[in-house]
C-alpha cells in the first residue's frame, strides 16, 4: 500500500482538526461533548431475481436469471444527546437512488415519525452496483433497457430502506464517533485519463496517481461496543460484467458482507447483525475496478473473483482506517438542502473557468455517452434505424428536434437526443436535491450524479472554504437522493469522453453544483435558512411496463414442485462445489424479501440448522426457464475451507402460480451429503 507525503500530512492533521470543530466556525451550535445517540439498521432490498432487467449497463440482454447475494439497505441514525437535531444516512446495494424511491421513502417516514425525519436530514445513497434489479425509477430514460417501471423492484427498495431506518431509529442509544483514513491504491484505475489530464496542475497534483486513493471511515460505537462503520471509497460497482445475470451488490456489497461476517453473531434472517458496515461511493465517475481497463479483467480474468478481491481490498483498507480512527469526534448535528433546476441555472463567474457568467441547459445525451465506456460498459441506449423499443413506442417516441440554441449551449458535445425536451417534462430529472449533513466534525456533501474525482475535489474545496474547516473534514457523496447521470469538470467536458458525453446539463454543470453547495455551506456556517427551491416533478401517474410477466407455472409430467432433479454427491471436500437442481416456480411469484430461496443446512443431533443461504458469498441461485411455463432452480455451494465436517443438505423454498393466479408455497429437500 503506497503512502504519499500529502496523505501522511493530511492524516497527521486530521485528529486536531476534527476535535477543534466543536467550537469552530462551521456552525453556531453547542458542542455535544463527544457523545451522540447512535443507531444502526439493516434490511433486505432485493427485488424479483428472474426476467427483470438489470440496472447499470443498459443492456437489453442482461435480464436477471437468479441471485448471487441479496442486496441490502444499511441505515445509520445520529441524534444529539440532549439536543434536537438528528440525521439519517442510508447506503443501499443498488445501482442508483432515484427520485421516485427518495420521495416514497420520505412519505413513509412521515407516516411513521411525523416531521422527525424529512428530506432535509435524511440522505439516501447507492453503492452503484451494476448487477442490481432495474425498474425502480419514474424517469423514462433510466427504464428504457429494463422496459419500464417495475413495481416489485420499487417496493423492495422502498420497503428495505424504510425498515433499515426504522431499525436504526429503534436502536438509538448513547455512543461515540471517530474518524480515520487510509490509502488504497490497487482497487481502482482512472478510465478517462485523457480527460483527467486536461485539468489544471493544482487538481492533477492532488491526485498524483490519477485516482482517489482515500478510504475514509466513520467508526460508530455504542455502549462501549463497535456497532457500525461507514467506509467511503470511490470505485465503480462494475466488477461484474453485463454478461452476468445474477443479482448482486457487486464489490461494495461483497465488502460489506465480508466485514459483517468476519464478526460473530451475524444472522440476516433472524434480525440485524451486531455490526453494520456500509461501503458507499464518493466521486466515482471516472474510477473503474477493472484494473486492466477491460470489463471483467483485472486483477484476474474471472469477474466473480475480481468482485471478491476488490471487495476484500476495500475491507482491508477500511480496517486500517478504522484502527487509526481518532477518538471522540465532537461537534453538533445539522443539515441543509436545496433543490436546483439544473436545466436553467445561471452560474456566476466565481465558479466558471474564465470568470464569466454562463447558463446550464436542458439535458442532452451526447455521442460519447451512446458509445459507452469501453472499460466498464454502455449507458443509455440510442437506437439505430430499424430498431424498436416497445417502451419508447408507449411513450410516444424520442424524436424531439434539437434546436440550434441547445446545440450551442451543449458544445462541444455532439448532441444525439435532447432527453430534457422529451414530453411530458424530460426523460431525466432536472430539479435535483443537493445536501450537506453535519455529523460532529464531519460534513457529508451529497450530490445526485456520478462525479469525477476532480469534480468531487472542487466541490469539497468550495464547501471547506465556505465552512472554514479542513478539506479532510469534508466527504463527498455521489449517487445521493436522485440520479442525473455524470458530472465532469468543464475541462474534462471538452474532451467528450464517455463521462463528458454523459454530463447532461452542459459544460457548466459542475460550476452550477459548486455554486449551490456554496450557498448551502454559507447557510450551515451561519445557522441561517435558505429557500427549498423548486419542487421535483412527479411522473408516477404514467409508468408503463412492457417487460415479461408471469402467466403460470407448470411442473413436468410426473414431477411436483420442489422435486429434486439433480442430487448432490454423497461425499465431498471443502474447496469443492456441490450442485442441486429442483423443479421450481417463477421467483417473481414471491421474491422472498427478508427470507431466502434456499438454505444449506447442517445436521446437529436430530435437528437441521441453517448454515448458509442465498445471501452468502459462497452460494448461487440460478433460475432457468426450460419450457414456456416450466423452470429449474440450480443451487450451487462453493464449500469454504473453514466449513466444519459433517452432514449437510440443501432445502429449496419456492412458490408456484396456477392458471387462476393463485400462488402456493412449496419446499424441496435434497439427499444428505457429507463434507469432510
pLDDT at 83: 82
Segments forming the whole domain that contains residue 250: 38-331
Exposure string for 355-367, b = 16+ CB within 10 A, e = fewer = eeebebbbbbbbe
pLDDT at 380: 52
pLDDT at 11: 35
Residues 6 or more apart in contact with residue 102 via CB below 8 angstroms? 119, 124, 433, 481, 482
Does the pLDDT value for residue 477 go beyond 70?
Answer: yes
CA angle 448, 450, 456 (to 5 degrees): 90
- Would the annotation count 236 as a binding residue? yes
Count Cβ atoms within 10 A of the Cβ of residue 127 and give its class: 0-12 exposed, 13-18 middle, 19 or more buried. buried
Residues 6 or more apart in contact with residue 265 via CB below 8 angstroms? 273, 274
Dihedral sign of CA atoms 119, 122, 123, 129 in order: negative
pLDDT at 25: 52
Count Cβ atoms within 10 A of the Cβ of residue 669 and give its class: 0-12 exposed, 13-18 middle, 19 or more buried. middle
pLDDT at 4: 32
Question: What average pLDDT is seen over the chain?
Answer: 92
Average pLDDT over residues 193-204: 98
pLDDT classification of 613: cutoffs 50, 70, 90: very high
Does the pLDDT value for residue 281 go beyond 80?
Answer: yes
248 neighbors 46 (Cβ within 8 angstroms): no
Looking at residue 269, the DSSP 8-state letter turns out to be T
| 446 located within any domain | no
Q: Cα–Cα distance between 28 and 291 in angstroms, integer?
A: 45
pLDDT classification of 12: cutoffs 50, 70, 90: very low
Does the pLDDT value for residue 23 go beyond 70?
Answer: no
- To the nearest 10°, report the CA torsion of 485, 491, 495, 496: 20
| 668 located within any domain | yes
| 441 located within any domain | no
| 279 located within any domain | yes
pLDDT classification of 318: cutoffs 50, 70, 90: very high
pLDDT at 244: 98
Residues 369-414: pLDDT tens digits?
766 566 676 555 544 444 567 777 777 777 778 999 999 999 999 9
**Range with the lowest mean pLDDT among 67-76, 90-99, 255-264, 386-395?**
386-395
Residues 6 or more apart in contact with residue 12 via CB below 8 angstroms? none
Exposure string for 185-198, b = 16+ CB within 10 A, e = fewer = ebbbbbbbeebbeb
Beta pairing class for 72-80 and 86-92:
antiparallel
Alpha helices of 468-586 — where are they, by DSSP H?
Answer: 490-495, 498-501, 509-526
pLDDT at 478: 98
Does the pLDDT value for residue 189 go beyond 80?
Answer: yes
| 471 located within any domain | no
**656 phi, psi to nearest 5 deg:** -115, 150
| 468 located within any domain | no
pTM assigned to the model: 0.94
CATH classification at residue 650: 2.60.40.2300
Number of domains in the chain: 2
Residues 497-529: pLDDT tens digits?
999 999 999 999 999 999 999 999 999 999 999
Please choose, from the candidates 48, 53, 52, 247, the residue with its C-alpha nearest in 3D space to the C-alpha of residue 131: 247
| 15 located within any domain | no
Q: Cα–Cα distance between 299 and 297 in angstroms, integer?
A: 6
Residues 25-62: pLDDT tens digits?
554 455 555 589 999 999 999 999 999 999 999 898 99
How far, CA to CA in Å, does 5 sit from each of 10, 188, 255, 464?
9, 20, 28, 21
Average pLDDT over residues 240-245: 97
- Active-site residues, by number, are 288
Q: Cα–Cα distance between 194 and 547 in angstroms, integer?
A: 39
Residue 234: half-sphere exposure toward Cβ, Cα within 13 Å: 27
pLDDT classification of 419: cutoffs 50, 70, 90: very high
Q: Cα–Cα distance between 106 and 47 in angstroms, integer?
A: 20
| 481 located within any domain | no
Of 298, 331, 364, at which residue does a domain stop? 331
Of 290, 308, 331, at which residue does a domain stop? 331
**Range with the lowest mean pLDDT among 262-266, 341-345, 491-495, 566-570?**
262-266
Of 289, 309, 331, at which residue does a domain stop? 331
Residues 288-307: pLDDT tens digits?
999 999 999 999 999 999 99
pLDDT at 377: 65
Average pLDDT over residues 145-157: 96
- Would the annotation count 486 as a binding residue? yes
Residues 106-124: pLDDT tens digits?
999 999 999 999 999 999 9
Q: Extract long-range pairs of 151-155: CB within 8 Å, 24+ residues apart.
A: 151/545, 152/47, 152/48, 152/52, 152/588, 152/591, 153/47, 153/48, 153/52, 154/47, 154/100, 154/101, 154/104, 155/47
Does the pLDDT value for residue 548 go beyond 50?
Answer: yes
Amino acid at each position: 500500500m503506497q503512502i504519499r507525503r500529502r496523505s501522511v500530512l493530511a492524516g497527521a492533521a486530521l485528529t486536531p482538526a476534527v476535535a477543534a470543530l466543536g467550537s469552530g466556525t462551521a456552525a453556531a451550535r453547542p458542542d455535544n461533548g463527544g457523545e451522540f445517540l447512535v443507531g444502526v439498521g439493516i434490511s433486505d432490498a432485493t427485488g424479483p431475481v428472474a426476467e427483470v432487467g438489470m440496472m447499470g449497463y443498459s443492456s437489453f440482454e442482461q435480464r436477471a436469471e437468479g441471485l448471487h447475494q441479496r442486496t441490502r439497505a444499511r441505515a445509520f441514525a445520529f441524534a444529539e444527546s440532549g439536543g434536537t437535531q438528528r440525521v439519517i444516512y442510508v447506503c443501499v446495494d443498488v445501482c442508483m437512488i432515484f427520485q421516485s424511491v427518495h420521495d416514497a421513502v420520505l412519505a413513509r417516514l412521515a407516516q411513521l415519525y411525523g416531521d422527525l425525519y424529512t428530506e432535509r436530514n435524511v440522505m439516501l445513497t447507492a453503492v452503484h452496483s451494476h448487477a442490481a434489479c432495474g425498474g425502480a425509477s419514474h424517469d423514462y430514460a433510466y427504464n428504457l433497457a429494463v422496459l419500464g417501471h417495475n413495481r416489485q423492484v420499487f417496493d423492495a427498495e422502498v420497503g428495505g430502506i424504510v425498515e433499515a431506518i426504522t431499525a436504526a431509529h429503534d436502536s438509538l442509544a448513547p455512543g461515540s464517533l471517530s474518524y480515520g483514513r487510509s490509502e488504497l491504491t490497487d482497487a481502482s484505475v482512472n478510465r478517462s485519463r485523457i480527460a483527467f489530464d486536461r485539468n489544471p496542475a493544482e487538481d492533477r497534483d492532488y491526485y498524483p496517481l490519477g485516482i482517489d486513493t482515500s478510504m475514509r471511515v466513520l467508526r460508530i460505537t455504542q455502549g462501549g461496543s463497535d456497532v457500525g462503520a461507514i467506509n467511503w471509497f470511490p470505485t465503480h460497482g462494475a466488477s461484474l460484467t453485463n454478461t452476468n445475470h445474477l443479482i448482486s451488490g457487486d464489490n461494495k456489497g461483497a465488502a460489506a458482507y465480508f466485514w459483517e461476517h468476519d464478526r460473530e453473531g451475524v444472522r440476516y434472517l433472524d434480525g440485524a447483525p451486531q455490526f453494520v458496515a456500509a461501503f458507499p461511493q464518493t466521486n466515482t465517475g471516472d474510477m473503474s475496478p477493472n484494473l486492466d481497463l477491460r470489463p471483467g479483467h483485472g486483477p484476474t480474468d474471472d469477474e466473480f473473483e475480481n468482485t471478491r478481491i476488490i471487495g476484500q481490498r476495500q475491507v482491508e483498507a477500511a480496517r486500517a482506517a478504522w484502527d487509526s480512527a481518532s477518538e471522540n469526534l465532537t461537534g453538533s448535528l445539522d443539515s441543509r438542502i436545496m433543490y436546483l433546476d439544473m436545466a436553467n441555472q445561471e452560474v456566476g463567474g466565481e465558479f466558471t473557468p474564465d470568470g464569466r457568467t454562463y447558463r446550464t441547459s436542458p439535458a442532452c445525451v451526447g455521442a460519447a455517452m451512446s458509445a459507452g465506456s469501453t472499460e466498464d460498459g454502455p449507458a443509455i441506449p440510442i437506437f439505430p434505424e430499424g430498431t424498436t423499443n416497445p417502451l419508447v413506442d408507449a411513450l410516444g417516441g424520442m424524436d424531439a428536434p434539437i434546436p440550434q440554441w441547445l446545440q450551442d449551449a451543449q458544445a462541444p458535445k455532439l448532441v444525439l437526443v435532447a432527453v430534457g425536451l422529451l414530453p411530458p417534462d424530460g426523460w431525466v430529472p432536472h430539479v435535483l436535491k443537493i445536501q450537506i449533513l453535519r455529523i460532529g466534525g464531519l460534513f457529508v456533501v451529497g450530490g445526485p450524479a456520478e462525479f469525477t474525482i476532480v469534480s468531487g475535489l472542487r466541490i469539497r474545496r468550495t464547501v471547506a472554504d465556505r465552512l472554514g474547516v479542513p478539506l479532510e473534514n469534508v466527504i463527498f457523496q455521489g449517487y445521493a437522493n436522485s440520479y442525473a447521470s455524470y458530472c465532469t469538470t468543464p475541462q474534462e467536458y471538452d474532451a467528450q469522453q464517455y463521462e463528458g458525453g454523459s454530463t447532461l446539463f452542459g459544460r457548466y454543470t459542475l460550476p452550477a453544483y459548486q455554486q449551490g453547495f456554496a450557498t448551502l455551506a454559507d447557510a450551515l456556517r451561519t445557522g441561517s435558512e435558505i429557500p427549498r427551491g423548486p419542487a421535483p416533478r412527479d411522473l408516477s401517474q404514467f409508468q408503463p411496463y412492457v417487460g415479461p410477466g408471469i402467466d403460470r407455472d407448470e411442473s413436468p409430467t410426473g414431477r411436483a414442485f420442489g422435486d429434486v432433479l439433480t442430487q448432490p454427491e454423497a461425499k465431498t471436500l471443502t474447496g469443492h462445489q456441490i450442485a442441486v437442481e429442483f423443479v421450481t416456480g417463477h421467483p417473481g411469484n414471491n421474491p422472498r424479501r427478508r427470507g431466502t430461496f434456499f438454505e444449506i443446512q447442517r445436521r446437529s443431533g436430530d435437528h437441521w440448522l441453517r448454515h448458509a443461504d442465498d445471501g452468502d458469498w459462497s452460494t448461487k441461485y440460478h433460475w432457468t426457464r426450460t419450457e414456456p411455463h416450466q423452470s429449474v432452480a440450480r443451487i450451487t455451494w462453493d464449500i469454504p475451507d473453514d466449513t466444519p465436517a459433517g452432514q449437510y443438505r440443501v432445502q429449496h423454498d419456492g412458490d408456484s402460480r396456477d392458471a387462476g393466479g393463485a400462488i402456493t408455497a412449496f419446499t424441496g429437500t435434497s439427499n444428505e451429503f457429507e463434507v469432510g
